[in-house]
Each structure stands twice: as C-alpha cells, then as structure tokens.
Structure 1
C-alpha cells in the first residue's frame, strides 16, 4: 500500500432530494490516517454523504477535495450496503477487477524496463521508468497475490468456491466479498458503510487491524458501538442539532448549519452529548421560571403598597407630592421589569425538542396484556439439520425465554431462525410448536416489492390487520419521524425501511419474536433502545447476532452454533 499524506477536505456541501432536504452546508476535514466515525439517526444522510464523497452523487453546493502526494486512479473507495456486482461474475473475476489498476501499474514497470533496455541513455525513457517504478512501489504491486489471499482468509472467505458466481453466494458472502474487493483496490480514502454487518469476530478483528494501518483517511458509518470505540479517533454527528437560540423556528427547522465534530470515541461522545442536553434542559427550565416572574412583575405589580393607600396628611400639596413619588417608583420598577423581560425574551433559548424515541417492543400491546403465569415450552427443535447450512441442533424455548444465538459466519444462525419461523423445512430432525402459538420474524434484509411509490403509512396499513390500523397507527412505535411516514418507501433509507418492517411486525406482537441481526442498519440510538426493551417483552425473544456490545451485555440464555 502507498504511504503518503492524503487528506480529505469537505467545504459547504448540501444535498436535497425532491421529497426532503438531507443536509446543509457541511464542512469538515479528515487528515492523513485519521479515522472518523459518522453517526446519526436513520435518514439523516449518512449513506448519502458517503456517496457524495465518493463522487457517486453530486452535491447541490460545496466542494469535496482529496489531496494526495501523487496521482492515483483510485482516490476514494466506498463500501456499499448493497454489493454492486453483476450476479454472473465469478469470485476470481471480482477480485481481479479490484486489482486491475495495480496489475496495470505492474505492467507499466515491465514495459518501461524493456524500453530502458533499448535506450538506457534516453532521459525521457529513464524518467518514464523511474515514475512507473515509484508508482508501483507506492501501490505495493509486488505483493498483490499474497495480499489477496490474506484478505480472503481474514474476511472468512477462504472456504468459498472460487468458481461460484456472485448470484450463488449468500448475502453475507457477497457483502464480505465486497469488503475484500474494496480493500484490495487500495484507495487513498476509505469509506465504509456498515462494514461489520456480515462479519464475525475474527473478521472484525482483521478489519480493525487493516483500518488501524490504513495509509489514508478512513470514514466509517456503523451501528456497531464496540467497533467504533475500537477504531475511530473522532466522531461526526449528522443528526440535526437544535439551536437553543432559534426563537420562533418550527421544531423541524431547529438545525445548525453544519455538523457536530467531536474528538474521541463514540462512548465519550455519547456521554458528552447527554451532558449537553441535560444542561440545555436545566437552562431552559431556569429561564422559563425567570420569565414567569418578570411577566408577573409587569402585569400585576403596577403600584407600590396597598391599592387603597392614602397619604397621612390631608394637605393638598402633600397629596400631590406622595402621589408623584409613588408614580415614579412604580414607573421605574415596571420599566425595569419590562426591560429585563424584553432582553430575556430576545435571547431566550428554545425548549429542547423531543427526540424520536422507540416506544418499545410492547408498544402495541393492550395495557392488560400480561405474560402467562406458567412458563411452558412453546417451541422445540429436536436434532434439526439443514444440509450445508445448519448442523444438528436441539433447543427448547419456553414462553418467556430470551435466547441469544451466536456463532461464526456460516454456522447457521439465520437458517435456524428461518426453521423456527416455518419459512424453511429442516432436512433432518423435527420442529414442534405449541398449538396456536404465533411466531414473527424480523429478517436481516427488508424487502418491499412493488410498493416503491406507496408511502410508509400506506404500506403499514396494507400489511397489518384492518382492525389494527386505527388502534395501532404507525406513529405508535416512535420508529419513523412523522414527516417520513408520508414519504414513498423507495425514498427511505435502508435503516428506515427496516424500521418500517419492525413496526409491521410489532403491530400484532407474536408470542415468539425472532430477530435476525436486529442491530444491522439501525441507528445507534435505536439499537440501544431496542436492546433495553427486550427484557420487558412478555413473550419469547430469540436473537441471532454478531453484535459484540449486545453479546457482552446479554443476561438471558445463549446458544452457540459451532
């Protein structure tokens, strides 16, 4: 890999789509070897920002510049959430396409060397050879094959049949191949969109090592709190940051121009943001109390003393003297109160806007819904096996069990959930489900076919039972902002589409809730809220995940698949 002083500069970029404004006037810089985490709610523009930085989308305003020490054909590389390969390509074809520019740089050296052999005294030939050799060394072309094998092994792809077409690979394998392709292409600026979604612990450790030694700036969009804490040196928060002094603005207009930049880990930033909001709420409460006192002083205390006050002497001159003095005192006090009131009203802070908050897995349940008194078995797998996907597995799940399923890539976590859900029949063994027990599953990927032009609220209404539409509207869950409920599904981010899928599932909460990698594509805030609500779900919850943060804090049962 090249060793240079590449850095990224972003100056005043803005992006608006027909249905909404994504971000406005963003400015920041990422210096050589800095590693920045990009966070924000689903729909805040994280993926859009990466696409603008990669040159795949054009911004409405502003500029993006990559400064490098030498010319390069791959200044910026982006890992997409959806791998961009043609389904007919084979694994070797994908890998070779990734290093084609490196192969070309190697070929240029050989061509220049042959020319040098015939014209060793031609300065132009010497210069061409020197330049080609320097570029090849900077790109590290001499170890392409070794680096390819190391990358494939590090990302858990060594056992994948190299002659398989992309269409024959699993979603996780395609995602890891996309990661390998990007790393091998060796761009100056590395942009990673949800890089840990399909990686097990070993692959995450390998990726962390690669990132720590990357030769240029690295920007990471991720829901993985442990990964962010281990890899990034700074945080860029794209969430609209309410302006305390934007008096009179509508809540959805309370945004700063730009973004919040923080030096440190995600955990450090999370605590700092929490403390800042607490200070804002405290200051707002104090100012409102002061405003109330000043308004009372202006409206109610228009006189000094008692309203029926009379001077002690009946002498007309004395009456006038005391009346004038009383009027002056009243006027001065009222004017002082009005001045203080006007000053405070002019500079007062606005009320902290209520953040979008997930209302929990049980938001749609009736208030009187309670878990059964008897914790009885409701789902049992006896030596269940799916050829080439899941080894023999047995487990019994009771009505209130909380079960975490872990294991390396390919161990069969998603397959087992599909067997539980009834969408996949086991090759061997048997599955027993108690009579009348409902099972619902949140899959890894959310697909809304043939509804791209439908709004999120319309899709929700079509997907849930008619009697639930009014009793449990989409707004019940706090998963989508009100303005996003009326946007076409096609315009929603991947994370917002998954929020919609979760809302549809929870509209009629099943007795067995299956969650396949529930933290994928969701914002860090929602991930935290979702995890906190699991223990309060009155039914059984079965989760398959690679998420180390969730695993490290898990208190329920665990099943590890070998």
Structure 2
C-alpha cells in the first residue's frame, strides 16, 4: 500500500482543535485568542464582520497563510501518521488551466483509482494478504461508487452539460468555482474547510452541497455570508468578531449551538441582558458614590442628643462616629468591589448609515414615468432577450439559475456592455453599478500602496470627499481608513466600492449579488434600506433569504 493511500485514510475520526490562536498579517492583528473544537460530523459556520479573519482562520488551519504572517497558539489536526488531511476551498483552483475537466476530476479520485488497481493486482496472481488489505481499503473508500459520485457531483453542481474534454481554463469563473468545489468534495479530506462555498451556486447546487455536508463524517468548518445556507447547513455557529467581553479585552469567539436563526436569537438575548446589567450597575455606582460622599451622620440631622448631660453628649457622639465610620467603610468597600468588577459599556457596533447617507437632509424628487426601457435585449450565449420597463422608484429583483444572464443584464443596463440585439433606452438618469467583482481603479496611478482614505478620495474626487467623508456611511471602521487598500479583505474592499457608489447616489442603483463577500449584518441592513431608496433599484441575486422576503417586482431569467 502506498504512503499516499495510507495518508488518505489515516484519520477516520479526525478532530480539529484550535487553542489560543492569534494571527498577524503585515503587522495587523487579524485573529486574537481563538479557541474552539470541531468534532467529527459537526458543521460549524464562521461568521463575522468583513475583516474579522474568517479566511485567515481557514488558511491558518490549512497551513497556507501568506508569507510573513505570524501566529501564536496551536492548531491540532493530529500528529504523525494520524495527522488529518485538510482540504480548503478557496480562490485558487486545484487544477491547471490546461487540464480537461476529466483530468481534473480524475486527480481528485486518484487514491480510489490506485486502490482499484492494487485490488486487481492482488487478485491476479492471487496474494491472500495483499488481497485482504486491498479489499478492506476498497470497502472503506467505497471505490465501486467512485464513478457514481463523480456523476452526482457534476449533476448536482450544474456541470453535467459541459463536455468533460473541455480545458478548465475555458470555463467561466462560476463554472471553475463549482468544479473546484466538486474536486474538493470528491477528494474527501478528513477535515473540510470551505470559504464562501455558495457564491456561485444556485438553489439546486446549494441543495446538493447541503446533502453532501449532512453526510460528511469529518469536521466541517465553513465561512459564509449566505443566511439561508447557514440556517440549513450549520449545526453550530462561531462568530469571529472580537467577542465583546463584559469585563475584559476583546478577543476569542462567540459560539452558539444551532443554526443562524438560533444564533441571532441568542446574540440579541445576550446584548439585552448586557445592556440591562450595565444600566443597573451604573445606577448602583452612582448611589454608592453619593453615599460615601454624603454619609457622615447617623440619625436625624440637627437633632439634639436625648439628654443635655456632658456624658450623654460624648456617648452619642462616639456612637455616631463609630456607626458613620462603619457605614462609610461598608459603602466604600462595596463601591470599590463594584468598580473593580463592573461590566464594560456595551461597545457601539459599526452600523450602516443607509443608501442615502450622502444626501441626508436634502430631498430629491424621483423621476416620473419610465426611466429605463429594455426591449428583447440579448447577448449571444449570455442573455436570452428579456424585456423590462423600470419607473423612477421601482424596486426590481432579477433571479435565475447560474448562467441565466443576471450579471450580463445588469452590465447592459449600466452601459458597460452593448447588447447584440434589442434596444435599451435610459432617460435622463444616472446609473450606479455595484459589480460582483471588486474593481477599484486608480485614476491617478498612485500604485497599490494607496490607503483606503486615499483610494476613496481618488475615486469620488477631493471636493466630494470633503462634502461626504468616507466615515459618513458606517462601512469602514475608522481604524482601517489609513490601512493600505490591498491589505483589506475582499469584503472590506467591496464596502469601499459601495461607499464610492453612494457618495453621489444615482437615480438608478444596480446591485449584483449584494450579499457576496459582505457581512451578514451589512447585507441585512442594505436589504432593509432598499424599499426607502428614492430612486429605482435593480438587484440581481440567487440569495434565498432575500428572495423569500422581497416585496417588490421580480424578473425571472
């Protein structure tokens, strides 16, 4: 049996243990004192604000942090021959662009294919010991179902219609992402790590992924912004936002058993109880401080002793002094203890100021009548020819499976792509487009060392940046405004792109998969702000959570 085959099956009961993990990248603290365990069969969803370190944590477990990153603490995936194989779905595909789809998939199941060859070799000529070992391993790997698993993965992830002799480099970005996911699932690592696995999945593909994860025997740790997916796939939630401690420094994680809805309820309960305790303690502190300051007499102030005798006066004075001293000392002791143990003031959370924060206090009359009219617009191989009419305040949700043309339609409406057929009329309005891919060009060619603040000023102009500072939107934490733009996570860079778009709110706002890479709290706030936007809004999304709660018009592609 080869060492590769042995390693493939060494840890059927792998456990992932993270203890006191901290990480810095380019001198910036990303993770602080994280500790939690993922047992076999558990599916833990990672959530947190953009930049909280979800991808960093996954890469740390995988052992693929960028050069120069430093860590402290431990990540235990076993040791020696019992070390678990760790597989990570991330942006870099596990196959070469020149590989065909078939070659890519065969590399994922190479161990199963080798076991099948070993079994055949042991059978002819027959070697009892070798055959027994080979048959045991073949049964553990279930090699007779390998072809069926490949077919199921291709069908489940919407790739079965593509010829398997096509080079992977010719696939679209979404198709390559789904093939990478198929490769990882077929490869069956002991510990499965997924970074935003549903970004390019439609409902059918998401359902397939959930079915695979539900039967996964090893630990599963995944970062996701997809609230519906978290609700149906996660058996537990870990929030990577520096866990606000009532008494100490931020750090660690907040863990909740159950799905995303369970977590939201638990988090709200903790916040309410924290705020109540803080309010009650501050009231008690105020009372105790006043008592220490004012409590210098006992009894009725100004009341004469019960007798005029000198001995009586001295007796009552001495008793009063002792009682006052005891009372003051008791109050001071209680005050010192409470001041030492009091909970922190609940930290103010970064809050999105809304889609029209840049024009707060001003009113703009929405355009009357149709502002966008599209008739049978088509792009060969990408958009089948839909028609739509959009009035000045309409809110439209564009849905459809992968490849149906949602992003292509928004590119046409934004004027970035000319249709091959049909007509498009945009009447007297500006369109603003938040694309799926983060694109923050440098109009002054200052290079990639621009700070976040500098990039914002370059893109909106100095005059506009003075009128509408980046801090207006509640999208970027003040501590990140002077960081190099390239050091930010994709989610944080997309927040900057959204701020640039909203610095001068357009009459027609186009949002392509707004939940991609953005934190759950921001996506929720963004969705809640859409109905009140004074102009027209077109959202392209496959997000089930959004679709179930949408109250405006719909266009199904």
TM-score normalised according to structure 2 size: 0.91
RMSD between aligned alpha carbons? Answer: 2.5
2:395 alignment counterpart: 402
* Counterparts of 1:459 and 1:136, CA distance in 2: 56
User: Where do 5+ consecutive residues of structure 1 fail to align?
Assistant: 121-125, 247-253
- Give the total of aligned pairs: 542
2:114 alignment counterpart: 104
* Counterparts of 2:40 and 2:76, CA distance in 1: 13
**In 2 relative to 1, CA 85–487 (structure 1 residues): closer, same or farther, beyond 3 Å?**
farther
Contact 1:361 1:506 in 2 (8 A): yes
User: Where do 5+ consecutive residues of structure 2 fail to align?
Assistant: 1-7
1:468 alignment counterpart: 464
Match of 1:343 among 312, 337, 342: 337
The yes-or-no answer on 1:480 pairing with 2:476 is yes
**SS of structure 1 residue aligned to 2:385:** strand
Q: How does 1:38-187 map to 2 (within 5 A)?
A: 38-57=46-65, 60-66=71-77, 75-83=85-93, 85-114=95-124, 116-117=125-126, 120=127, 126-187=128-189
**SS of structure 2 residue aligned to 1:393:** coil
**In 2 relative to 1, CA 11–294 (structure 1 residues): closer, same or farther, beyond 3 Å?**
closer
1:288 alignment counterpart: 282
* Counterparts of 1:285 and 1:395, CA distance in 2: 53
User: How far 1:268 sits from its partner (Å)?
Assistant: 0.5
**SS of structure 2 residue aligned to 1:60:** strand
Match of 1:447 among 436, 439, 457: 439
Cα deviation, 1:248-301, whole Å, max 9, x if unaligned, reads xxxxxx314x32222111111110011001000000000001111111122234
* Counterparts of 1:44 and 1:179, CA distance in 2: 24
User: How far 1:370 sits from its partner (Å)?
Assistant: 3.9
User: How far 1:39 sits from its partner (Å)?
Assistant: 1.3
* Counterparts of 2:491 and 2:372, CA distance in 1: 30
Cα deviation, 1:161-194, whole Å, max 9, x if unaligned, reads 4344334322211111111111111212221111
**In 2 relative to 1, CA 285–387 (structure 1 residues): closer, same or farther, beyond 3 Å?**
same
**In 2 relative to 1, CA 68–531 (structure 1 residues): closer, same or farther, beyond 3 Å?**
farther
1:507 alignment counterpart: 503
* Counterparts of 1:323 and 1:61, CA distance in 2: 63
User: How far 1:69 sits from its partner (Å)?
Assistant: 13
* Counterparts of 2:369 and 2:319, CA distance in 1: 85
Contact 1:517 1:545 in 2 (8 A): yes
Match of 2:416 among 408, 415, 423: 423
1:456 alignment counterpart: 452
Cα deviation, 1:387-419, whole Å, max 9, x if unaligned, reads 110111110111111110001111110000000
**In 2 relative to 1, CA 342–188 (structure 1 residues): closer, same or farther, beyond 3 Å?**
same
* Counterparts of 1:108 and 1:485, CA distance in 2: 58
User: How far 1:85 sits from its partner (Å)?
Assistant: 4.5
**In 2 relative to 1, CA 210–242 (structure 1 residues): closer, same or farther, beyond 3 Å?**
same
Contact 2:32 2:242 in 1 (8 A): no
**SS of structure 1 residue aligned to 2:46:** strand
**SS of structure 1 residue aligned to 2:359:** coil
* Counterparts of 1:462 and 1:84, CA distance in 2: 37
* Counterparts of 1:343 and 1:63, CA distance in 2: 36
1:393 alignment counterpart: 386
2:537 alignment counterpart: 541
**In 2 relative to 1, CA 508–163 (structure 1 residues): closer, same or farther, beyond 3 Å?**
farther
Match of 1:368 among 358, 362, 383: 362
Contact 1:385 1:392 in 2 (8 A): yes
Contact 1:81 1:194 in 2 (8 A): no
Contact 2:25 2:70 in 1 (8 A): no
User: How far 1:329 sits from its partner (Å)?
Assistant: 3.4
2:551 alignment counterpart: 555
**In 2 relative to 1, CA 92–59 (structure 1 residues): closer, same or farther, beyond 3 Å?**
farther
Q: Which moved more, 1:356-365 or 1:413-422?
A: 356-365
Match of 1:227 among 222, 226, 229: 229
User: How far 1:316 sits from its partner (Å)?
Assistant: 4.6
**SS of structure 2 residue aligned to 1:453:** coil
1:216 alignment counterpart: 218
**SS of structure 1 residue aligned to 2:554:** strand
Contact 1:52 1:59 in 2 (8 A): no
Q: Which moved more, 1:299-308 or 1:471-480?
A: 299-308
Contact 1:6 1:69 in 2 (8 A): no
**SS of structure 2 residue aligned to 1:384:** strand
* Counterparts of 2:441 and 2:360, CA distance in 1: 31
Contact 2:369 2:392 in 1 (8 A): yes
User: How far 1:471 sits from its partner (Å)?
Assistant: 2.1
Cα deviation, 1:137-158, whole Å, max 9, x if unaligned, reads 3223333333222211110112
Q: How does 1:285-324 map to 2 (within 5 A)?
A: 285-304=279-298, 316-324=310-318
User: How far 1:310 sits from its partner (Å)?
Assistant: 5.4
User: How far 1:104 sits from its partner (Å)?
Assistant: 2.6
**SS of structure 1 residue aligned to 2:358:** coil
Contact 1:4 1:69 in 2 (8 A): no
**In 2 relative to 1, CA 163–422 (structure 1 residues): closer, same or farther, beyond 3 Å?**
farther
* Counterparts of 1:56 and 1:363, CA distance in 2: 39
Q: Which moved more, 1:43-52 or 1:158-167?
A: 158-167
**In 2 relative to 1, CA 453–107 (structure 1 residues): closer, same or farther, beyond 3 Å?**
farther
* Counterparts of 1:209 and 1:473, CA distance in 2: 46
* Counterparts of 1:191 and 1:331, CA distance in 2: 63
Cα deviation, 1:221-261, whole Å, max 9, x if unaligned, reads 11111111111111122111122112xxxxxxx314x3222
User: How far 1:127 sits from its partner (Å)?
Assistant: 3.2
TM-score normalised according to structure 1 size: 0.90
1:414 alignment counterpart: 407
Cα deviation, 1:395-448, whole Å, max 9, x if unaligned, reads 01111111100011111100000000000000001110012x110111111034
* Counterparts of 2:542 and 2:400, CA distance in 1: 8
* Counterparts of 2:88 and 2:287, CA distance in 1: 56
**SS of structure 1 residue aligned to 2:51:** coil
User: How far 1:11 sits from its partner (Å)?
Assistant: 3.2
The yes-or-no answer on 1:266 pairing with 2:260 is yes
User: How far 1:304 sits from its partner (Å)?
Assistant: 4.4
